[in-house]
């Protein structure tokens, strides 16, 4: 009887040990769409500071110490705020190396400084940049394999197929962007049997992530970005857990997984707010301060003053006073009949009061210049149609205008949403030519604005010289001065900025 009891005890103990041996507790920490916002700041409409890379880094260290952890980012890390832009993302990479990131998906804005700069940033990084659906740039890897507490974790990266239209076309010259779904399906088939967990680092947007999870089986986790979506708790499609951590490092995404016999048996996710009330990581804080001091020395000059907040938040869905201000400056500078830019050109707002160089650089961070092109009334209408075609998605193509007033119905059939159009107070004439100011990004067909590019390329003497376009339809160009510098000059000449919403863009039913 004693022998029998000992045998039972040994069998039970062995079973418990075997069970424990096949069960793993791991953690995934994630951010996305950081855009170089290294210092805490007050988002538009808020009086409380949020974010702060040094505070994020300290929380990462605290959570990483508790269990085997994967730290990843889902794209758009090196471009956006002045802290990153003035150094073409070098500052972001230095901080991320210190924080020991394991992998990063390339985002569409990683291409904004051109391929040569992107290669430099990738070479500086101690972690891989992933983009399985991009070919033509060997520095980008399709996936990486990480050992996490005894588990083999495959991390696949993909970026939006819209990248060629969301950055300047010259930045992606020679590259091919394959459909993310087909690409992920291919690599899941290749990696599923050899690895315990499949993670997709995705910079394609939340709705596209949901579609990806529905169409491709075998993905355990999708860590998303691009749409700046705040997913408090993971969305679940089938057996796939979908995450996204808002933007600008204002929250840290945490996903705790229990894996048993190769399957996830428990998944708990959350977003932790990051604020300057937390504990600061001194080493990361030193990097933030080092680059911020260089930014401040250049950016602290006052260029003007505004009695009201200048709205750069709603530029993707409606007319704003900041959109009006920038397009008015562009129209006046080019001597054009009108001006049209995509709302995505404007990246943030300016609070009322003193306006500094840094504020303007944050609003228009891209290296774009003003051009003016002859368009027919028909082409202008087509351009406006394209601009309002994705309003429900909050796409960056939504137009901000000067010299133009128009109405639209978002519920009308695509291609016939724009109704009344006026230029200079007169009804638009379909076969008349007008001079329209824009930026070189749209003039090259960026954000899907084909009419500008088609007009220039139809010119008999069209050519591209040193990255600048030339053609008979192109009546103004100043490739030697960025739009932000033109805006700064205007503000300095005016001192007080007076601008308001005037009903240039009206939605009707």
For residue range 88-119, what is the model confidence (pLDDT) as tens digits?
A: 999 999 999 999 999 999 999 999 999 999 99
pLDDT at 16: 46
Buried b (16+ CB within 10 A) or exposed e, 372-382: bbbbbbebbbb
Res. 385 pLDDT band, cuts 50 70 90: very high
Report pLDDT for 82. Answer: 87
Give the mean model confidence (pLDDT) for residues 439-457: 86
Three-point CA angle 437, 439, 440, nearest 5°: 120
State how far the Cα of 499 lies from the Cα of 227, in Å rounded to an integer: 29
Mean pLDDT of the chain: 92
CA contacts within 13 A on the Cβ side of 357 = 12
pLDDT, tens digit (0-9, with 9 covering 90-100), for 316-339: 999 999 999 999 999 999 999 999
Domains of the chain: 24-292 (3.60.21.10), 301-507 (3.90.780.10)
Neighbours of 258 (CB within 10 A): 14
Higher pLDDT: 16 or 311? It is: 311
Work out the pLDDT band at 62, boundaries 50, 70, 90: very high
Q: Which of 422, 292, 296, 279 is nearest to 358 (CA)?
A: 296
**Please, which pLDDT band fits residue 481 given cuts at 50, 70 and 90?**
confident
Per-residue pLDDT tens over the stretch 149-178: 999 999 999 999 999 877 877 899 999 999
Please tell me what DSSP assigns to residue 483: H
Measured distance CA(219)–CA(240) in Å, rounded: 6
Q: What is the pLDDT of residue 11?
A: 55
- Placement of tokens 């990248």 in the chain: 163
Q: What's the mean pLDDT in 219-241?
A: 97
pLDDT value for 444: 86
Angle, CA of 470, 472 and 477, to the nearest 5° = 45
pLDDT at 12 over 60: no
CA distance 155 to 417: 42
Calculate mean pLDDT across residues 273-290: 97
pLDDT higher for 8 or 508? 508
The total of other beta-carbon atoms located within 10 Å of residue 413's CB is: 7
pLDDT over threshold 80, residue 10: no
Task: Write the DSSP symbol of residue 280.
Answer: P
**Over the stretch 204-216, which tens digit does the pLDDT of each residue have?**
999 999 999 999 9
Contact 294, 75 (CB under 8 A): no
**CA nearest neighbour of 312 among 324, 304, 320:** 320
**Is residue 430 within 8 Å of residue 384, measured between CB atoms?**
no
The distance in angstroms from the start CA to the end CA of the chain is: 86
CB half-sphere exposure, 359, CA atoms < 13 A: 24
Question: Who's near 437: CB < 8 A, 6+ residues apart?
Answer: 327, 330, 331, 333, 334, 336, 338, 339, 340, 370, 371, 372, 402, 476
Q: Are 20 and 250 in contact (CB under 8 A)?
A: no
Q: Are 83 and 295 in contact (CB under 8 A)?
A: yes
**Above 80 in pLDDT, residue 295?**
yes
* Euclidean distance between CA atoms 353 and 362, whole angstroms: 16
pLDDT average, residue stretch 260-264: 90
State the DSSP code for 281: P
Confidence (pLDDT) at 221: 98
**pLDDT for the residue numbered 5:** 60
Query: Does residue 121 carry a pLDDT above 80?
Result: yes
Q: For residue 311, which phi and psi values (nearest 5 degrees)?
A: -85, 110
Phi/psi for 396 (5° steps) reads -70, -10
Q: Give the three-state DSSP class for 475.
A: strand
Burial 490-499 (b: 16+ CB within 10 A, else e): bbeeeeebeb
- Residue 159 has a pLDDT of 98
Q: Which of 297, 216, 220, 223 is nearest to 257 (CA)?
A: 220
Question: What tens digit of pLDDT does each residue of 181-199 get?
Answer: 999 999 999 999 999 999 9
| C-alpha span between 324 and 315 (Å, rounded) | 10
DSSP annotation of 107 reads: P
Q: With contact defined as beta carbons under 8 Å apart, do 352 and 309 qualify?
A: yes
Phi, psi at 242, each rounded to 5° = -110, 125
pLDDT of 8 higher than 70: no
Counting DSSP H helices and E strands in the chain, the numbers are 15, 27
What integer pLDDT is reported at residue 464 of this predicted model?
A: 46
Classify strands 251-260 and 263-273 as parallel, antiparallel or unpaired.
antiparallel
Residue of 502, 146, 59, 122 whose CA lies nearest to 324: 502
- C-alpha 360/C-alpha 136 separation (Å) is 35
Do residues 247 and 74 make contact, with C-beta atoms less than 8 angstroms apart?
no
Query: What's the angle, vertex CA 438, arms to CA 454 and CA 81, rounded to 5?
Result: 120
Strands 426-427 and 418-423: antiparallel
Q: What is the mean pLDDT of residues 420-426?
A: 98
State the pLDDT at residue 417: 97
Does residue 428 register a pLDDT over 70?
yes
Q: Answer whether residue 432 shows pLDDT above 50.
A: yes
SS3 53: helix
Cβ atoms within 10 Å of 158's Cβ, excluding its own: 33
Q: What are phi and psi of 23, to 5 degrees?
A: -110, 130
pLDDT of 427 over the 80 cut: yes
């Amino acid at each position: 009887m004693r022998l029998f009891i000992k045998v039972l005890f040994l069998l039970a103990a062995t079973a418990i040990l075997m069970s424990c041996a096949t069960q793993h507790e791991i953690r995934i920490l994630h951010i996305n769409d950081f855009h170089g916002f290294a210092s805490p700041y007050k988002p538009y409409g808020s009086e409380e500071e949020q974010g702060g890379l040094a505070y994020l880094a300290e929380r990462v260290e605290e959570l990483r110490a508790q269990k085997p952890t994967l730290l990843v980012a889902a794209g758009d890390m090196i471009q956006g705020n002045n802290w990153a832009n003035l150094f073409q993302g070098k500052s972001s990479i230095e901080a991320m190396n210190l924080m020991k990131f394991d992998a990063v998906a390339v985002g569409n804005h990683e291409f904004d400084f051109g391929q040569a700069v992107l290669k430099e940033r990738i070479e500086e990084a101690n972690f891989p940049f992933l983009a399985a659906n991009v070919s033509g740039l060997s520095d980008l890897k399709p996936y990486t394999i990480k050992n996490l507490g005894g588990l083999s974790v495959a991390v696949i990266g993909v970026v939006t197929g819209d990248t060629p239209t969301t950055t300047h076309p010259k930045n992606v010259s020679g590259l091919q962007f394959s459909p993310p779904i087909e690409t992920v399906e291919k690599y899941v088939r290749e990696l599923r049997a050899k690895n315990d967990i499949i993670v997709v680092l995705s910079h394609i947007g939340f709705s596209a992530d949901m579609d990806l999870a529905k169409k491709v089986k075998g993905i355990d986790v999708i860590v998303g970005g691009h749409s700046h979506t705040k997913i408090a708790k993971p969305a679940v499609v089938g057996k796939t857990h979908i995450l996204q951590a808002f933007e600008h490092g204002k929250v840290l995404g945490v996903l705790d997984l229990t894996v048993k016999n190769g399957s996830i048996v428990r998944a708990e996710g959350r977003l932790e707010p990051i604020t300057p009330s937390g504990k600061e990581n001194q080493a990361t804080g030193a990097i933030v301060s080092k680059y911020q001091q260089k930014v401040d020395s250049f950016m602290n000059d006052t260029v003007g003053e505004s009695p009201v907040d200048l709205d750069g938040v709603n530029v993707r869905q409606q007319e704003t006073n900041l959109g009006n201000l920038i397009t008015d400056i562009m129209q006046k500078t080019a001597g054009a009949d009108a001006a049209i830019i995509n709302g995505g050109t404007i990246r943030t707002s300016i609070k009322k009061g003193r306006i500094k160089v840094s504020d303007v650089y944050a609003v228009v961070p891209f290296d774009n210049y003003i051009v003016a092109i002859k368009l027919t009334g028909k082409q202008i209408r087509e351009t406006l149609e394209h601009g309002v075609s994705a309003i429900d998605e909050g796409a960056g193509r939504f137009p901000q205008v000067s010299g133009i007033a128009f109405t639209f119905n978002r519920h009308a059939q695509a291609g016939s949403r724009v109704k009344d159009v006026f230029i200079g107070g007169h009804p638009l004439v379909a076969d008349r030519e007008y001079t329209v100011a824009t930026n070189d990004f749209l003039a090259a067909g960026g954000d899907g604005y084909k009419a500008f590019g088609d007009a220039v390329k139809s010119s008999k003497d069209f050519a591209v010289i040193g990255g600048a376009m030339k053609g008979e339809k192109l009546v103004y160009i100043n490739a030697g001065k960025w739009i932000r510098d033109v805006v700064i000059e205007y503000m300095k000449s005016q001192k007080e900025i007076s601008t308001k919403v005037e009903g240039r863009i009206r939605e009707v039913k």
